[in-house]
Structures are given as structure tokens and as C-alpha cells.
Structure 1
Amino acid sequence: MKPPQFDYVVAASVEHAIELLEANEDAKVLAGGQSLIPLLSMRFASPTMLIDISHIAQLRAVRCSDEVLAIGALARHVEVEHDPVIHTAAPLLAAAATWVAHPQIRNRGTIGGAIAHSDAAAEFPAALLALDATIVTRSQAGERRIAAADFFGSHFQTALDHGELLVTLAIPVSDAHMRWGFYEFARRKGDYAIGGAAVSVRLDDDGRCTSARAGLISAGPGPTLAEGLDQELVGRWVDAAAVASAVARAASSIAPADDVHGTSRYRRAVVAESLRRALHQAFDLSTVHTGREAV
């Protein structure tokens, strides 16, 4: 199929892109294009204008302070996967990148585009939820900082307002007390996940859990934050029984949809098993395969 007609403008700067967004209500932002171009070709999106931001160099920067890792919206998946600063400061995010689609997609796709697309089956939104990240946006009204838990909505919806551009992802820097886990199931290597989970936990000096967060993949109409982990895990030395209780509590609150890849019951079971494996990995309870897996 062919995309609909649209005007195409290359933004020279963040300010220029914001001006164009403000003036064109039906405009779409083009970054890597790995999600948008297929939507255009299938006529699922019909913008009057495409605003190409791919040449704005300041949106590619990766900066790290003692407490916050800032990743520009135009950082490509492959850069997130291999950048040594990201590997050290946010190893969960770097690990999640290895599960994204195929090398060709990772070479072109951008992390900001993936976040703005807000696909329930995508890896980066789940990882940002687990990491309690902040999405930084810009508009003519100034800068806005949105917690990941407040950013993602239902069915490809986000908290982005008209005229607002996603510019940076701000992530707390990992330290010696942080642990992480990631797991997903897909029918074939590179397919969208039937279910998955990204986990970030903190331990005190004695090894007791002080916080636990998990972003769930394909668990509902949008990227989903797992519920109930703190009640089951925080304040204790976590064992397999505690993980089982936490998984059961989290799974009871999700409602994945039936589709051609599986029933809601099946998807809930896959998400639950992914969460169990990711938690086992995070708490080092067993040896967990961390490479891409298909079922």
C-alpha cells in the first residue's frame, strides 16, 4: 500500500520542530521511522505534515551525572545497546535493547520514537517503567517532566500534548544496590513479544529488598506497571516463595486482550512466567537464560 499525501519538512532545531508542531495540528514527527512508516503505508495514520527531526544533533546526546543518565530522543536502539555509558548507568535499558526486533530495525529506530509510539508489546517502555524514568518534553510553554508511570496511556496514547516534543529520557543511575532482570517470550526471534517483563530492584547492605518495580510487556492496552510487588518483596530477603507470591499478585491485576497470538488467559500466563524469570534473575535465585527466546 501507499501512504497518503503529506507535506514534508526537515526541522532545523528543536525550536523549529516545536513551531511546526504548534502550527499543524495533524502533523507527525519522523525520527527513525520504523513504526511511523508502516502506519503510513497501511493508512493507519494520515498526517497532513511529517516533521523530520532526524538532523537535530542535540537530540542525540547521551550525558551522565552522578545521579541521572540523560539520553537524547534520537539515540538509536543500537546505540542504547552498545554505548558503554548506558551499559554502566542503566544496564537494564541496554539489555532490553538487545531484544528489540532485528538488527536492521535497531540500526534505524530511535528510543524516543519507541517511547512516543507507546506500544504495549515494546521493550523500552517496560524498561523505563521499571527504572522509574522521567520523560522530558519541550513546547512553546517550556519544559515538562513526566514520570514514565504517568506518560504511557492506552492503545498507543501518551501524555504528550499538542505542540509538545519528546526531547530527553532521564533515568536514575544504577549503583551497587541495584539489580535488574529482563525476560520475554515471542513466537519467533524478532517478533513482538506475547508477554514479557523488565524488573529493577534495590537491596540494602544486608541483602534485603528495599524497592521493586516491573514494567510488563503485552499485559494490557498499553505499557503496564506491575502492581503489588512492594507488598510481597520489600523489607525481606527474597526467595522463590516470595517471588511466586509477587507474581501471583501482579498477574491478578492484568487483563491482556485475546488476539490471533493467544487468549487472554494464555497471555497472562506468559507475562507471569516472564515476570517470575526476570525476578529470579534480579535476585540471583537461579541461572536464567538472558538471550532472546521464542516459544
Structure 2
Amino acid sequence: MKLPAFEYRRPASLEEAARILAEQEGGAKLVAGGQSLVPVMAFRLASPTVLVDLARVPGLRGIDIGDDGVRIGAMTRWRDIEDEARLRRACPLVAEAVGHIAHYQIRNRGTIGGNLSHADPASEMPGVVVACEAELEVFGPSGTRRVAAADFFTGPLSTCLAHDEILQAVRFPSWPAVRRWAFEEFALRRGDFAYAGIALYYDEDGGGCAHNTHVSVIGATDIPRRLPAVEAAINGQRVEGPAIAEAARLASASVTPPDDIHASADYRRALVGTLVERALAAAAARS
């Protein structure tokens, strides 16, 4: 299908981009990599009157890794994240999840900021930022504010961004040298949207028991969500047979997925339990 008619603007600064958004009063859309927005426009699910291309805006690309964590600019492409070897130590959940995102051609153009702003509930990175308690830098007319990842997503394809705000960067907290983690998802074909997925990590005390457990789910809920019942069941336990089985049971009981043409609610509920079981077993086996 052909795209609807629109005006094309290419600002040279964040301030100019925010000003255009404010002038259009909700009629404009930002385009980063275009891998989510353009198909949506082609199907007439969105018909913005103005497209605001961020390609020339400085300071929105790059990966900074320091003692206080990782900062990834919103216009950083998946390919650049995938190729950054330092992330495998600085935030391995990010590095692992990126390999599951769509296909190479999509990762060559798509951006982390565009993906998070699109807020697809089956997308991988929203689940990772929620699990990692990341913060999102948002620029608007009154300057920059930080939003906790858990507060950023407000519904399917919806975020807390006002019509004149722009996602600027994502900040991940520092990652301890010793931490167990895993990312698991299931899709009909690799690169397709996940029926469900799990991102998790936990730390261990001197006795080998888990603490600081973080578990998030995608694909089976309206937004990426933590699973506090699962986290509580793992904390204080050795991550092995009985604890993993109980966590899987609680995971299935914690989600209320919809029925759709791809899978029934019961199937997705069972799948979430299976993925938690696999992820915990993978994390426990990690050296």
C-alpha cells in the first residue's frame, strides 16, 4: 500500500524537533529508523500530517559505558548495539535480547528509541528495560526529565510521552561482575513477534541462594511487566528443581493474556511458565 500524504521535516536540533511537534499539536510523528512507523502508515493505522526525521539531530547516537552503567542514545541502531562487544559484560541482557529482534535487515535500520517509543507489547527491549530498572531520558519544551522504565509504557503501543516530547536516551544501571541472567522467548519463526518472552536476572549470596531477583514478561501482557510473585518465590532459594517448578507455576498464574489468531490465552499462560522454567535453568547453569 502507498503511504498517506505528509509533510517532511528534518530538524537540526532537539529543540527544533520539539518545537515542530508542539506546533502540530499531536499531528506529527517522529521517524528514527522507520522500521515500525512506516509499515503502520502503509496500513493506514497512522496518518500523521508531518513526519519529523531525527537523522540530523546531534547527540542521539552512541553507547557510553562507565562505572555508573550504560547509556544508549535513542537513535543508536540495533546493529551498533549488537556489534558492541563491551555490552556483553556491561549489560549482557541487552546484548542477548538484541539478537532476537526481527531480522538483520531490520536491525540494520531500526533504533532502540524508535522501538521503545513504539511500545509493542511483544517486543524484546521493553521487557529488558523493565527487568533492568532502566531510566529513559525524555526531552521536551521544559528540558530533560527521567522516567523509570516501568512508568514509561502505559498500554499497547502507548507511552507516557507527551505529543511534544522526544525519547533521548536509555540508561541501564551498572551490572555486577557476578550475576546470573537469561533471556528466553518463543516465536513461530526466529525474528517473528514473540508469543511470549522472559527477561530475568538474580544475584547470589555466599550460600548460593538467590536475591535481588528481577523477572519481566513480554507478549502475554498489555505492557512489559515484572512478575513480583515469581521474584519473591526465587529470593532466598537455591535456583534448582523445586524452586524453578514453583516459579514456573506462579508465572503462569500471574498473567492474563488475550486470545488472538496466533495463540489462545491458555497456551500463552502455559508458555510463560515454560519460558520462566527455561530461563531460570539457563541462568543457574551460567558460569
2:8 corresponding residue in structure 1: 8
- Matched residue SS, 1:92: helix
Structure 1 residue 162: Cα displacement: 2.3
TM-score under structure 1 length normalisation: 0.93
1:22 corresponding residue in structure 2: 22
Higher mean C-alpha displacement, 100-109 vs 191-200 = 191-200
- Matched residue SS, 2:108: helix
1:44 corresponding residue in structure 2: 45
Inter-CA distance 89–118: structure 2 relative to 1 (3 Å threshold): same
Structure 1 residue 247: Cα displacement: 2.3
1:105 aligns with 2:106: yes
Contact 2:62 2:72 in 1 (8 A): yes
Higher mean C-alpha displacement, 59-68 vs 162-171 = 59-68
Contact 1:227 1:250 in 2 (8 A): no
1:62 corresponding residue in structure 2: 63
User: Distance in 2 between the 1:135 and 1:229 partners?
Assistant: 25
Higher mean C-alpha displacement, 90-99 vs 181-190 = 181-190
User: Distance in 1 between the 2:81 and 2:208 partners?
Assistant: 29
- Matched residue SS, 2:155: coil
Moved over 3 A (4+): none
1:268 corresponding residue in structure 2: 269
* AA partner of residue 273 (structure 2): A
1:138 corresponding residue in structure 2: 139
User: Distance in 1 between the 2:21 and 2:229 partners?
Assistant: 39
Pairs within 5 Å for 1:164-183: 164-183=165-184
Structure 1 residue 88: Cα displacement: 2.0
Structure 1 residue 205: Cα displacement: 3.7
Structure 1 residue 204: Cα displacement: 2.6
* AA partner of residue 212 (structure 2): S
2:79 corresponding residue in structure 1: 78
Structure 1 residue 271: Cα displacement: 1.9
Structure 1 residue 14: Cα displacement: 1.3
Higher mean C-alpha displacement, 55-64 vs 130-139 = 55-64
- Matched residue SS, 1:94: helix
Contact 1:89 1:174 in 2 (8 A): yes
- Residues 194-214 of structure 1 show CA distances to partners (whole Å, capped at 9, x for unaligned) of 111111212234322121112
Structure 1 residue 224: Cα displacement: 2.4
- Matched residue SS, 1:16: helix
Structure 1 residue 6: Cα displacement: 1.1
User: Distance in 2 between the 1:50 and 1:205 partners?
Assistant: 54
Contact 1:218 1:271 in 2 (8 A): no
Higher mean C-alpha displacement, 30-39 vs 218-227 = 218-227
1:90 aligns with 2:91: yes
1:192 corresponding residue in structure 2: 193
Unaligned runs of 5+ in 1: 288-295
User: Distance in 2 between the 1:117 and 1:275 partners?
Assistant: 26
Contact 2:230 2:251 in 1 (8 A): yes
TM-score under structure 2 length normalisation: 0.95
Structure 1 residue 222: Cα displacement: 2.1
- Residues 166-224 of structure 1 show CA distances to partners (whole Å, capped at 9, x for unaligned) of 00100012222322101111111221111111112122343221211122121112222
User: Distance in 2 between the 1:28 and 1:240 partners?
Assistant: 49
